[in-house]
Chain A
Amino acid sequence: MDASNYLYISALLFTIGAVGVVVRRNAIVVFMCIELMLNAANLSFVTFSRINGNLDGQVMAFFTMVVAACEVVVGLAIIVAIYRSRRSASVDDASLLKR
Chain B
Amino acid sequence: MSISTSLVYLIGLPFAGAAILLLGGRRTDKWGHLLATALSASSFAVGVYHLFQMVNRPVEMRPTSQKLFEWISVGSFNVDAGLLLDQLSICFVLLITGVGTLIHIYSIAYMSEDRDRRRFFAYLNLFIAAMLLLVLGDSYLSLYVGWEGVGLASYLLIGFWNQKPAYATASKKAFVMNRVGDMGLSLAIMIAFATMGTVSFAGVAEQVDNTSEAALTAMGIMLLVAAAGKSAQFPLQAWLGDAMAGPTPVSALIHAATMVTAGVYLITRSNFVFDAAPTAQLLVVIVGAITLIFGALIGTAKDDIKKALAASTMSQIGYMILATGLGPIGYAFAIMHLITHGFFKAGMFLGAGSVMHGMNDEVNMRKYGALRHFMPITFITFGIGYLAILGVPPFAGFYSKDMIIESAFNSGGMQAIFLGSLTLIGAAITAFYMTRVMILTFAGTKRWDEGVEPHESPWLMWFPMAVLAVGSVTSGYLLYHDKALYKWLSPLFEDHGEHEELLKPIVVSALALTMVAIGVSIAVYKYMRENIETVAPENVSWLTKFVRKDLMQDQFNEKFFMRPGQLLTKALVTTEDVVVDGSVRGVARMAIGSGSGLRGLQNGFVRSYAALILVGALTLIAAIWVVVS
| CB neighbours of B614 from chain A (8 A) | 18, 21-22
Q: What is the 8 Å Cβ interface bit string for chain B, positions 592-607, against chain A (1 contact, 0 not)? A: 0000000000111111
Asked if B604 contacts A91 (CB within 8 A), the reply is no
Instruction: Please give me the residue from chain A that is nearest to B610 by CB atom.
Output: A21
CB distance from B609 to the nearest CB of A (A): 10
| CB neighbours of B604 from chain A (8 A) | 95-99
Instruction: Please give me the residue from chain B that is nearest to A95 by CB atom.
Output: B604
Rounded to whole angstroms, the CA-CA distance of A21 and B614 in the bound complex is 10
Asked if A98 contacts B602 (CB within 8 A), the reply is yes
Which of A22, A96, A97, A98 is within 8 Å of B610, CB to CB?
Answer: A22
How big is chain A's contact interface, by range? 10 to 19
A59 at the interface (CB under 8 A from B): no
| CB neighbours of A21 from chain B (8 A) | 607, 610, 614
| CB neighbours of B606 from chain A (8 A) | 30, 91-92, 94-95
Q: What is the 8 Å Cβ interface bit string for chain A, positions 20-43, against chain B (1 contact, 0 not)? A: 011101000010000000000000
Asked if A95 contacts B610 (CB within 8 A), the reply is no
CB distance from A71 to the nearest CB of B (A): 15
CB distance from A45 to the nearest CB of B (A): 17
Rounded to whole angstroms, the CA-CA distance of A21 and B610 in the bound complex is 7
Asked if B610 contacts A92 (CB within 8 A), the reply is no
| CB neighbours of A18 from chain B (8 A) | 614
| CB neighbours of A22 from chain B (8 A) | 607, 610-611, 614
CB distance from B246 to the nearest CB of A (A): 71
| CB neighbours of A30 from chain B (8 A) | 606-607
Asked if B611 contacts A95 (CB within 8 A), the reply is no
CB distance from A6 to the nearest CB of B (A): 19
Asked if B611 contacts A92 (CB within 8 A), the reply is no
Rounded to whole angstroms, the CA-CA distance of A98 and B602 in the bound complex is 7
Rounded to whole angstroms, the CA-CA distance of A22 and B610 in the bound complex is 6
Instruction: Please give me the residue from chain A that is nearest to B606 by CB atom.
Output: A91
How big is chain B's contact interface, by range? under 10
Instruction: Please give me the residue from chain B that is nearest to A92 by CB atom.
Output: B605
Rounded to whole angstroms, the CA-CA distance of A25 and B614 in the bound complex is 17
Instruction: Please give me the residue from chain B that is nearest to A21 by CB atom.
Output: B610
CB distance from A1 to the nearest CB of B (A): 27
| CB neighbours of A99 from chain B (8 A) | 604
Rounded to whole angstroms, the CA-CA distance of A25 and B247 in the bound complex is 92
Which of A23, A94, A95 is within 8 Å of B603, CB to CB?
Answer: A95
| CB neighbours of A94 from chain B (8 A) | 606
Rounded to whole angstroms, the CA-CA distance of A98 and B606 in the bound complex is 11
Instruction: Please give me the residue from chain A that is nearest to B608 by CB atom.
Output: A22
Instruction: Please give me the residue from chain A that is nearest to B602 by CB atom.
Output: A98
Q: What is the 8 Å Cβ interface bit string for chain A, positions 43-67, against chain B (1 contact, 0 not)? A: 0000000000000000000000000
Interface residues of B in 567-609 (CB under 8 A from A): 602-607
Instruction: Please give me the residue from chain A that is nearest to B611 by CB atom.
Output: A22
Instruction: Please give me the residue from chain B that is nearest to A23 by CB atom.
Output: B607
CB distance from B344 to the nearest CB of A (A): 90
Interface residues of A in 55-99 (CB under 8 A from B): 91-92, 94-99
Asked if B607 contacts A92 (CB within 8 A), the reply is yes
Interface residues of B in 247-270 (CB under 8 A from A): none
Rounded to whole angstroms, the CA-CA distance of A97 and B608 in the bound complex is 14
Rounded to whole angstroms, the CA-CA distance of A25 and B607 in the bound complex is 8
Asked if A98 contacts B607 (CB within 8 A), the reply is no
Rounded to whole angstroms, the CA-CA distance of A21 and B611 in the bound complex is 8
Rounded to whole angstroms, the CA-CA distance of A18 and B615 in the bound complex is 11
CB distance from B606 to the nearest CB of A (A): 5
| CB neighbours of A98 from chain B (8 A) | 602-605
| CB neighbours of A96 from chain B (8 A) | 604
| CB neighbours of B605 from chain A (8 A) | 91-92, 95, 98
Rounded to whole angstroms, the CA-CA distance of A97 and B606 in the bound complex is 10
Interface residues of B in 604-628 (CB under 8 A from A): 604-607, 610-611, 614
Interface residues of B in 340-397 (CB under 8 A from A): none
Chain B CB within 10 Å — which of A23, A92, A99 has the most? A92
Contacts known (A18-B614, A22-B614); A91 close to B607, Cβ less than 8 A: yes
Rounded to whole angstroms, the CA-CA distance of A94 and B610 in the bound complex is 14
Rounded to whole angstroms, the CA-CA distance of A63 and B604 in the bound complex is 31
Rounded to whole angstroms, the CA-CA distance of A30 and B423 in the bound complex is 109
Q: What is the 8 Å Cβ interface bit string for chain B, positions 53-78, against chain A (1 contact, 0 not)? A: 00000000000000000000000000
Rounded to whole angstroms, the CA-CA distance of A94 and B604 in the bound complex is 8
| CB neighbours of B602 from chain A (8 A) | 98
| CB neighbours of A23 from chain B (8 A) | 607
Q: What is the 8 Å Cβ interface bit string for chain B, positions 446-486, against chain A (1 contact, 0 not)? A: 00000000000000000000000000000000000000000
CB distance from A22 to the nearest CB of B (A): 5
| CB neighbours of A95 from chain B (8 A) | 603-606
| CB neighbours of B611 from chain A (8 A) | 22
| CB neighbours of A25 from chain B (8 A) | 607
CB distance from A23 to the nearest CB of B (A): 8
CB distance from A56 to the nearest CB of B (A): 21
Rounded to whole angstroms, the CA-CA distance of A10 and B605 in the bound complex is 28
Rounded to whole angstroms, the CA-CA distance of A95 and B602 in the bound complex is 10
Rounded to whole angstroms, the CA-CA distance of A18 and B603 in the bound complex is 20
CB distance from A53 to the nearest CB of B (A): 24
Rounded to whole angstroms, the CA-CA distance of A98 and B601 in the bound complex is 10
Rounded to whole angstroms, the CA-CA distance of A86 and B611 in the bound complex is 25
CB distance from B607 to the nearest CB of A (A): 6
Instruction: Please give me the residue from chain A that is nearest to B604 by CB atom.
Output: A98
Rounded to whole angstroms, the CA-CA distance of A13 and B226 in the bound complex is 93
Rounded to whole angstroms, the CA-CA distance of A99 and B603 in the bound complex is 9
CB distance from B628 to the nearest CB of A (A): 17
CB distance from A15 to the nearest CB of B (A): 10
| CB neighbours of B610 from chain A (8 A) | 21-22
CB distance from A66 to the nearest CB of B (A): 22
Interface residues of B in 115-135 (CB under 8 A from A): none
Rounded to whole angstroms, the CA-CA distance of A96 and B610 in the bound complex is 17
Rounded to whole angstroms, the CA-CA distance of A25 and B610 in the bound complex is 12
Rounded to whole angstroms, the CA-CA distance of A21 and B617 in the bound complex is 15
CB distance from B480 to the nearest CB of A (A): 99
Instruction: Please give me the residue from chain B that is nearest to A97 by CB atom.
Output: B604
9 tightest Cβ-Cβ pairs between the two chains A and B? A98-B604, A95-B604, A91-B606, A22-B611, A21-B610, A97-B604, A95-B605, A98-B603, A18-B614
- 10 residue pairs bridging A and B, Cβ less than 8 Å apart: A21-B610, A21-B614, A22-B611, A23-B607, A25-B607, A30-B606, A91-B605, A92-B606, A97-B604, A98-B605
Additional 14 contacts, C-beta under 8 A, given A18-B614, A22-B610, A91-B605 = A21-B607, A21-B610, A21-B614, A22-B607, A22-B611, A22-B614, A23-B607, A25-B607, A94-B606, A95-B603, A95-B606, A96-B604, A98-B602, A98-B603
